[in-house]
Amino acid sequence: MIGFMIRKTLYDLWDNMFKIVVLNIGFLIVTSIPVFLPVLAGQFFNSIAMEMILSAFGILVCSVYLAAAAYSIKSISDHSTFSFMDFLRNFKIVWPAGLVMGLFIFLLYSVFTIIIPFYLGIESLVGLLLAAVVFWATIFALLSFQFYFTVYARLGSNIFKSFRKCMIISLDNSGFAFFLFLHNIVVLIISVVFVFLFPGPAGILLYLDQGLRLRILKYDWLKENPEANRRKIPWDALLIEERDKVGVRSFRNFIFPWKD
């Protein structure tokens, strides 16, 4: 299943390269808000509180943008496409979910920069234990809520149910969630070479959506076969239709499709 997911994502990235690049350019633009706005404000206001507020605002903007991107990108996973007018309309649908996740991301940022250093600064066994508990809880949150934007886009518009579904998916597919997390880190490193234009954040969202979409096939099958062994999912049977739609491309067809 993972091999097919990687192949389908690669094909979809290649076939929709222009839109992926443009989405990434938009993300780089909005990312400049939390990076440069506090620095600019620091030239006029010597206030840590002001810098924190501006950083939080920038994170919220970035989060709303990612939510709209995820909502748009799911059409690529579904063998379709989207227009940039669709992308703009999606802002009206997802901005509340984006704001909530933005607040959550800012909370995680505060945990790493303030709370964990505070506990470590206690210099005692209690402080070390508290720091360890908070650290691993944060890691679990990162593993679980990496699915948030795609879960919200694909499984409904209830924000709190989306958080709960993220945790359920992560706990039920812990190895898969860990693999996706490591994969996304590798993709970010590769994206540095292309200045985050490709595959970039949009490519990561596409990969997460592909993974969630295939997991839904698993849960649909388990719903129809409640007595089945959850550890033995017949992926070959479940993916017959998907594999027919995706097909297999030669290297020549992949690079020069017009020559075949």
pLDDT per residue as tens digits for the range 137-161: 999 999 999 999 999 999 877 899 9
Residue 260 has pLDDT above 70, yes or no: no
CA distance 34 to 57: 7
Q: Write down the mean pLDDT value for the chain.
A: 89
CA distance 23 to 189: 18
Residue 258 has pLDDT above 60, yes or no: no
Residues 6+ apart with CB under 8 A from 241: none
